Amino acid sequence: MGEQVKHVLVTGGAGYVGSLLCPQLLDLGYKVTVYDMCFFGSDFLPQTNPNFKLIKGDLRDQNALSKAFVGVDTVINLACISNDASFELDEQLSTSVNLEAFEPMVIAAKKAGVTRFIYASSSSVYGVSDKPDVTEDHPLVPLTLYNKYKGMCEPLLFKHQSEDFVCVTIRPATLCGWAPRQRLDLSVNILTNHAVNNKKITVFGGSQLRPNLHVQDMCDLYKLLLEIDSNKIAGKTFNCGFQNMSIADIADIVRKTVMSVMPELGDIGIVFAPSDDIRSYHINSEKIQNELGFRPRFTIEDAVRDLCKAFKRGDLKSSMTDDRYYNVKMLKTQNTA
């Protein structure tokens, strides 16, 4: 057990991961502040908890951020304009949020007395790689500006690493599974939504390899990073993925799992179509297992089952048409500049 963390601020805490993580942090006894523009709402956050605080703020607002960081022990930085398509909607906005606001935020956190900064980068920084195992020292060859900026922020963070400001970067795989602020624009979640509602899965391409990670495993890793000894993580970067699979194989798992959990749907077909999304990489997550003892516990099947349960509960109404499940569609409806 490392230093006791009392107050955690989660930037982007009203997003997919944050919506699942924040209630779990409160259950563990942490004070939690979420700093987020709340594009996707905030009614799913635990706002009645006395240890929870929501600040509706913009990462580019240095004054508001500096005030928010006062009294905070650890920052978990999840905030960004997320995914390539959302990024490309407004390149200027995305550049200002994902790159230009990053180092000033780190500096403000350190100045305010934050002692630990956890940065969510992305395994998509590797772009396309035919290496059988992509480790953390693999060159970054991002295909898009979103991926490029994720990678560019890593050294900007580590510039400020010091004994009293511990910095760590995580490069997570593509997330999947259910969360209170659901996303249905991620590989496993997309395929499950289509299987349940269309009784047909369309696979674009299929041979591309993608690493996957259950959103609950992502939350469990952040909880570990809050309490692990500083010397194990200071200035380090870790891949975190579980099942590296082709999109075609993921589709097959989704089909079988949905048919098993929701037999009333009958047979679910798989159709293949060409794709211009060539990102393909197989990440190696041995470093995080060996150095931090972290091993993901939840499978793609678990993610699909959880989503099926949410559909059965009626928690994902209008899932094919409601903009709030899709980052790109939601950002199109916002005047975000």
For 332, phi then psi, to 5°, come to -65, -30
Q: Which domain holds residue 243?
A: 7-332
Confidence grade of residue 337 (pLDDT, cut at 50, 70, 90): very low
pLDDT tens per residue across span 73-102:
999 999 987 766 555 667 788 888 888 999
3-state secondary structure 107-157: HHHHHCCCCEEEEECCHHHHCECCCCCECCCCCCCCCCHHHHHHHHHHHHH
pLDDT, position 258: 98
Domain membership of residue 201 (yes or no) is: yes
pLDDT tens per residue across span 130-145:
888 899 999 998 888 8
Domain membership of residue 199 (yes or no) is: yes
pLDDT tens per residue across span 255-308:
999 999 999 999 999 999 998 877 778 899 999 999 999 999 999 999 999 999
Cα–Cα distance for residue pair 208/194, rounded to 1 Å: 19
Domain membership of residue 252 (yes or no) is: yes
Give percent above pLDDT 90 in the chain. Answer: 77
Helices 16-27 & 215-227 angle (0-180, nearest 10): 50
Domain membership of residue 2 (yes or no) is: no
pLDDT tens per residue across span 145-195:
888 899 999 999 999 999 999 999 999 999 999 999 999 999 999 999 999
- Residue 213's identity, in one-letter code, is L
Domain membership of residue 305 (yes or no) is: yes
Domain membership of residue 337 (yes or no) is: no
Domain membership of residue 54 (yes or no) is: yes
CATH code of the domain in which 96 resides: 3.40.50.720
Q: How many domains does the chain have?
A: 1
